[in-house]
């Protein structure tokens, strides 16, 4: 009887494992297959779920000949419920208004405002919140417009070695899914050749840990690596996670989008 019980449990566990692996492959299909390069703008990304599926989602896409849109969203929690919410966010985020004779690009603040309204209007049976950051980069001017909804601030690694690595000071609105009439603000950042911006989810803290005094060791480690190229930097982040104790069960999802400006 015990052997038969174990066989039944194993059968259902194998089925569940296969379903979760299929869900993970499906989620990965929603991620960019290739990162666009437009003029001086080059993108790279790191995506590390803490389980089969992730509560993080990102995308980088061309808006027109010279502008690129990109976003990173982080649904509260982990696992399947959070992953399902990210799919709703992906399909609900609008970047353009289409007219019969053309289109108009939405500002980042408009895009997040409409996304927040769509999430609130959905009236999910369980409380669902998410953070997000949406940006539009212009290859001609090297300007990047940002809007934030409760998301961690991006990091700027200046091309000038005399300037410090620092967080970008952006207006941070409320989390998505709380206030129906919440408005967000667009902040424009002027970049120079050699600058690099990192957008990240809060799982970045798991790479190097955090301290009880509130300090952020990962930012110090990032400053030490400012001369490392982006692909190597992201590979080092991933290797660092693999080397940690309990790396098979990390504490949080990790996603990083890197924008390099030539």
Those residues whose C-beta lies under 8 Å from the C-beta of residue 199, and which sit 6 or more positions away, are 58, 70, 72, 133, 135, 154, 256, 257, 258, 259
Nearest Cα neighbor of 137 from 231, 257, 259 is 259
- Range with top average pLDDT, 14-18, 19-23, 209-213, 218-222: 218-222
pLDDT by residue (tens digit) across 190-200?
999 999 999 99
pTM: 0.89
What pLDDT does residue 247 have?
Answer: 47
Lowest mean pLDDT among 3-12, 78-87, 126-135, 169-178: 3-12
- What span, in angstroms and rounded, lies between the C-alpha atoms of 84 and 146? 25
Tell me what percent of the residues of the chain surpass a pLDDT of 90: 61
What pLDDT does residue 45 have?
Answer: 97
Does the structure show a pLDDT above 70 at 3? yes
Does the structure show a pLDDT above 80 at 78? no
What pLDDT does residue 72 have?
Answer: 97
- What span, in angstroms and rounded, lies between the C-alpha atoms of 2 and 4? 5
Lowest mean pLDDT among 117-131, 212-226, 240-254: 240-254
Q: Which fold has domain 23-261?
A: Phosphatase 2c; domain 1 (3.60.40)
pLDDT by residue (tens digit) across 103-154?
899 999 999 999 999 999 998 877 689 999 999 999 999 999 999 999 999 9
DSSP-assigned beta bridge partners for residue 255: 47
Residue 118's H or E segment, with its range, is helix 108-122
């Amino acid at each position: 009887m015990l052997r038969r019980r174990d066989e039944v449990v194993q059968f259902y566990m194998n089925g569940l494992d296969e379903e979760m692996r299929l869900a993970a492959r499906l989620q990965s299909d929603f991620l960019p297959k290739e990162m666009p390069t437009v003029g001086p703008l080059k993108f790279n990304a790191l995506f590390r779920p803490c389980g089969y599926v992730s509560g993080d989602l990102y995308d980088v896409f061309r808006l027109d000949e010279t502008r690129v849109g990109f976003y990173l969203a982080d649904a509260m929690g982990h696992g399947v419920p959070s992953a399902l919410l990210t799919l709703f966010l992906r399909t609900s985020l609008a970047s353009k208004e289409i007219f019969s004779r053309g289109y108009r690009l939405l500002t980042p603040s408009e895009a997040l405002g409409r996304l927040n309204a769509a999430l609130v209007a959905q009236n999910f049976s369980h409380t669902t919140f998410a953070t997000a950051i949406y940006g539009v980069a212009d290859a001609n001017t090297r300007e990047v417009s940002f809007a934030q909804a409760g998301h961690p601030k991006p990091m700027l690694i200046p091309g000038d070695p005399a300037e410090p690595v620092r967080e970008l000071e952006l207006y941070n609105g409320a989390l998505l899914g709380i206030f129906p009439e919440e408005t967000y603000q667009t902040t424009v950042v002027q970049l120079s050749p050699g600058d690099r911006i990192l957008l990240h989810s809060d799982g970045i803290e798991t790479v190097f840990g955090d301290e009880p005094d509130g300090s952020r060791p990962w930012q110090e480690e990032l400053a030490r690596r400012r001369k490392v190229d982006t692909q190597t930097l992201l590979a080092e982040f991933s290797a660092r996670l693999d080397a940690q104790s309990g790396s098979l069960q990390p504490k949080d999802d990790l996603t990083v989008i890197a924008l390099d400006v030539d």
